[in-house]
Structure 1
Amino acid sequence: MATTPSTLLRTARDVAEDLAADAITRDRAGRPPVDERARLREAGLLAALTPPGQDRGADWRTGCAVIREIATADSAVGDLLARHYVHAWSGRFYGGPHEAALLEEASVREQWLWTGAVRAPAPEGEPDGPDLVLRPRDSGYVLTGRRSVDTAVAVADQIVLDAVCAATGEVLVVRIPPRARGVQVETAPDRLGQRVAGAGEVVLDRVGVKPSQVLGRRPDEEEAAAPFTALAEPALRLALCHVGLGIAEGALTEVRDLSRGGRAHRLPGEDPDLLLTYGELASAAHTASAVVDRATDLMARALATGGLLDAEEPASVAALVATAETVTSRAAMHITTRVLELADAPGLDRFWRNARVLTAHRPAAHRLRSIGEHYLNGSHRAVAAAYL
């Protein structure tokens, strides 16, 4: 039976409390998230965070609330769960409803962990050629190339990738089991932050791809994408906004508890300027939360509309997501930097490192220009990022 939103959120809080207990130790170790995957699976979160269906899955608002709860305790695990949830929607974003339903049922039954790296359409193409190529054969395709993956590269059950078909030039979205023949993974244990997320590269050497593993076609131009398909890229960016909020809120909560316990550099009762600082930081977090929540509501309505989505609506969703991303990135970096000035406690630096890694590849200037274009000209072009 489907889990109610309130029950799912209680489970998420219990898992978050468990993760917070050893977050610093696991961050320092920087190992692949084998134990973290087991904790999520045991709690039922991998099965619960799939698209909503009859007696299964989670609606968009609830899914994002779970991601944010987990990210507050451990943003690397929140990152892993955010990408799992969005990539579990891939059957709907790129394929047909019947195939998507079968895939989601299998995901719930097997408690799959999803990850992926789907490129957004490049405005000017790829000057160096595609990094992943599919070549047809009698029983499907063979896939060759390599791609960076931000989470769970060594522990996922399904990796969603896009690749160019050598015969037709089409860009196809496929799912690959990491333990399939010809797949190798190279982990990245020395990351600055998000160390437990399990980032790395997947190397594919003539990996067999069955027709059932082809989720659908990804248009090579933004304007050609079906309205519902166009939601895939901003959906992930919005889920990651909840991870960024989790980082900011987790940092602020931890340093507040240090101040209350008398372990910070300055005590609130002795320094009224400290109250001003906390007011500023709390306001920044509340402002980001308000914008992200508004974008989450708009995305939830668009996803619920499904195939009846208006052609212009994805651009409005993408513009608001870009706004949420801009505000959240600034808030997360500002808050995690300032808390280091308020206290000097073991592990407090992880919040800044995690925020830095999460936001480093999403330049604000590009987003702001796209937001301005949509606001001024009503452009229907989506606000794109490099990868999903």
Structure 2
Amino acid sequence: MTDTALNTPVSSAAPDTRAFDDRWADAPAPTTPERWLERAREVSDILIVDAVDRDRANLAPQAEVRLLKAAGLVTLLGPLAHGGGGQSWETAYQVIRVVARGDGSIGQLLGYHYLWAWAARLVATDEQILAVEELYTANNFLFGGAVNPRDSDLTVTEDGDELVFSGRKSFSTGGQVADLTVLEGVLNGTDTHIFAIVPTDQPGIVFGDDWDNLGQRLTESGSVEIRDVRVPWAAAAGFVEKVFQPLIYNTLNVPAIQLVFTNFYLGITQGAIETASAYTRTSTRAWPYGGDNKERATDEWYLLEGYGQLQSKLWADEAIADRAGAEISLVLHAPREELTERRRGEIAVLIAAAKLRAIEDGLETTSKIYELTGARASANSVGLDIFWRNLRTHSLHDPAAYKKREVGQYVLLNEVPKPSWYT
């Protein structure tokens, strides 16, 4: 992650004229969490207008990424000295949620970007951290990652003062819309894992263009082949004289991204409630055969009860997610050497609980809204299915049953989960 490794030019996406290009050109950059959330809401309001049409077109989200960059959201966590927002993870999690309310796919892209942009702080040396944060913040770069742990690791071989990454990953969120890609592999003949950040636009990174799933269709999460991508040994994150310097802090990547998941699940659910309730107010008809007939659907007691139940659950889920966001934000921004195994585990359990609630209540909501909008709302032209499809797709990322077990072990046995690729 030195200047030599990272200052390779990275080509930008082809321009695509959109009305939002200059939307914030003359606006001062937000300076408080509240202002950043207002900016995120503006982005969300733009995205939600044509989210269904863009989902069906299933094109690489070049314009959507440009929107995130124009709004300043890509560098929200970046240092102020390099033009970044200088905000905390607590704010970043809430921004992810707000953006996902407009488009779950773009909320995921932004959330994954934040995690990979923080990867240097998680595992790199102080010198590498400074280089990476200046690079991505000053250039407004978006991160992607070819790090799916369920696949075989990339193979890393030594060639003099260079490392050569090769292999294939089934999933690489961000894909070709990312400016920088995080690689992870195992040094040949050892069990040593190595992370490195490389420019995406190079011949050795070949995307399969095969992401065509039920939901989260605009996340560029298809396969990628890594063909002899070279980086200097000096770019191996966290290595000093070819030896890794471990910290418990290194393992925060998993709870941090699990809470990213939680927040874009919550955003998707909020989008579902807002979209469905707007339809109910304008298009749903009262039921004329119940014996307690109403003139308007909005007077129907079962609709009022239904929306009340769903929103109450979402508010409760947001409360636990916000608590988890505040707690992990404290340790993410604290000196790296201070984190203990116990504290890390307690935060992971809290995040597991938040994720469980977001999944179960979100899936209930994205299905229940059809009962509250009526049969005509099942028309493809209405597009309510996008919320269930998005949430159902990504909530399969790792089995929720194991998150339940983690919480149960904590409650019954006072045990915290041991760090792994999924805990």
Question: TM-score normalised to the size of structure 1?
Answer: 0.89
Q: What whole-Å deviation, never above 9, does each CA across 1:111-162 have from its counterpart, x for those lacking one?
A: 1101214356xxxxx9xx9431100011311111011335221111112132
Cα distance between partner residues in 2 of 1:352 and 1:150: 22
- 1:93 corresponding residue in structure 2: 122
Corresponding position: 1:365 with 2:401:
yes
Deviation at 1:371, TM superposition (A): 1.7
Deviation at 1:53, TM superposition (A): 7.3
- 2:308 corresponding residue in structure 1: 279
Q: Does the 8 Å contact 1:163/1:171 carry over to 2?
A: yes
Corresponding position: 1:152 with 2:174:
yes
Unpaired segments of 5 or more residues in structure 2? 1-28, 240-244, 288-295
Cα distance between partner residues in 1 of 2:391 and 2:79: 27
- The letter of the residue matching 2:360 is R
- 1:231 corresponding residue in structure 2: 252
For residues 44-193 of structure 1, the aligned pairs below 5 Å read 44-50=72-78, 56=84, 57-118=86-147, 130-193=152-215
**1:28 aligned to 56, 70, 73, which one?**
56
Find the residue that maps to 1:302 and give its secondary structure.
Answer: helix
Larger Rg: 2
Deviation at 1:103, TM superposition (A): 0.8
Cα distance between partner residues in 1 of 2:343 and 2:319: 21
Q: Does the 8 Å contact 2:79/2:137 carry over to 1?
A: no
- The letter of the residue matching 2:48 is A
**1:198 aligned to 217, 220, 238, which one?**
220
Corresponding position: 1:320 with 2:356:
no
Question: TM-score normalised to the size of structure 2?
Answer: 0.82
Segments ≥4 residues shifted beyond 4 Å = 51-55, 264-267, 383-387
Kindly tell me: are residues 202 and 51 of structure 1, through their superposed partners in 2, closer, same or farther at Cα, counting changes over 3 Å? farther
- 1:350 corresponding residue in structure 2: 386
- 2:15 corresponding residue in structure 1: none
Q: Does the 8 Å contact 1:133/1:143 carry over to 2?
A: yes
- 1:243 corresponding residue in structure 2: 264
Cα distance between partner residues in 2 of 1:381 and 1:50: 30
Q: What whole-Å deviation, never above 9, does each CA across 1:290-322 have from its counterpart, x for those lacking one?
A: 111111111111112232122321100111111
Find the residue that maps to 2:185 and give its secondary structure.
Answer: strand
**2:368 aligned to 338, 344, 351, which one?**
338
Kindly tell me: are residues 380 and 278 of structure 1, through their superposed partners in 2, closer, same or farther at Cα, counting changes over 3 Å? closer
- 2:36 corresponding residue in structure 1: 8
Kindly tell me: are residues 334 and 92 of structure 1, through their superposed partners in 2, closer, same or farther at Cα, counting changes over 3 Å? same
Deviation at 1:382, TM superposition (A): 3.7
Deviation at 1:48, TM superposition (A): 2.2
Unpaired segments of 5 or more residues in structure 1? 121-125, 218-223
Kindly tell me: are residues 227 and 359 of structure 1, through their superposed partners in 2, closer, same or farther at Cα, counting changes over 3 Å? same
